[in-house]
Amino acid sequence: MTTTAEHRETTTMSSTRTLTLAKAINEGLRQSLKDDPKVLLMGEDIGPLGGVFRVTDGLQKEFGEDRVVDTPLAESGILGTAIGLALRGYRPVCEIQFDGFVFPAYNQITTQLAKLRYRSRGAVSVPVVVRIPYGGGIGAVEHHSESPEALFAHTPGLRIVTPATPQDAYTMIQEAITSPDPVIFFEPKGRYWSKGDVDLDAPVGAATLNAAQVVRAGTDVTLVAYGPTVATALKSADALAAEGRSAEVIDLRAISPIDTSTIAASVRKTGRCIVIHEAPVFFGAGAEIAARVTEECFYALEAPVLRVGGFHTPYPVAKLEHDYLPSVDRVLDAVDRAFAH
């Protein structure tokens, strides 16, 4: 069998291409299907249609209906079948069409997928990836624009990750598929069409599934974000620079487990921390980060850790979503409050 390294040495594809985030995931899935015959994709309309967002476009034609499987409209059935396949040695990658559609499969994910390895004392591995487009900004409604990551992060046994750039999307989907643990792979649908350079020969290990990344260095305040809000944090840092304040921006990448050490190192330097996510702040990921930063950096903090996120309401109608989602103005307001202490 041709190894991953041998395949990438013989490929004629240019090393770096400019891709959208959606296309980067597509390329990562294609590479995984090539590298391992036990990888297969499952989901509603992922075959000839290529999925609602065309992330799987062309893959069924290239790899066949046995590797890229159009499923019935039954999320619980998709996950239940994937768990059985994983127990037989396969590596299923399940697509959920929209974030709010995952809940019929919530029982399968949290009571079976997350617990089988622990329940078997490590004898059984269930390497299933669940791809979930999540977040707002596309003019959709509830059940199509939600951010349920905290619900899954609260369940032990699951890795919860989300890319913010095309490069990370390409690398992280491959790392998720090779992981022995089940991975919930949240894809920021509002960023699907953002473009960036992708090194198709980038090494695939486990670094991006485990480590946060400092994407902009700064000295005055730490902005922690993930997925769709990394772009918001970077725009906020630009605005703060115009005001004479230096913001360090951290892309969390993994929500579970959290790379607390990278965040803490930054906060010990800046003394202030703002956490930004689209999900409601009430019992959200930002609360966990705020608690950890307070425990690790209490004597370095110049102000309380503040959170900027969605409100404690169902996702609003499309014309109101930009009042609901974190914005640069709301981040700047939080920074002003942090400096007022």
Q: Catalytic site residues?
A: 144
CA distance 29 to 40: 9
338 touches 274 (CB < 8 A): yes
Q: Is 339 helix (H, G, I), strand (E, B) or coil?
A: helix
Residue 70: count of CB within 10 angstroms of its CB? 16
Instruction: For residue 265, give every residue at least 6 positions away whose Cβ sits within 8 Å of its Cβ, in sequence order, or none.
Output: none
Is 299 exposed, middle or buried (CB count within 10 Å of its CB: 0-12, 13-18, 19+)?
Answer: exposed
- The per-residue DSSP string of 15-74 comes to SEEEEEHHHHHHHHHHHHHHH-TTEEEEETT-SSS--TT-TTTTHHHHH-TTTEEE--S-
Residues recorded for the chain: 341
Query: At 254, which helix (H) or strand (E)?
Result: strand 254-256
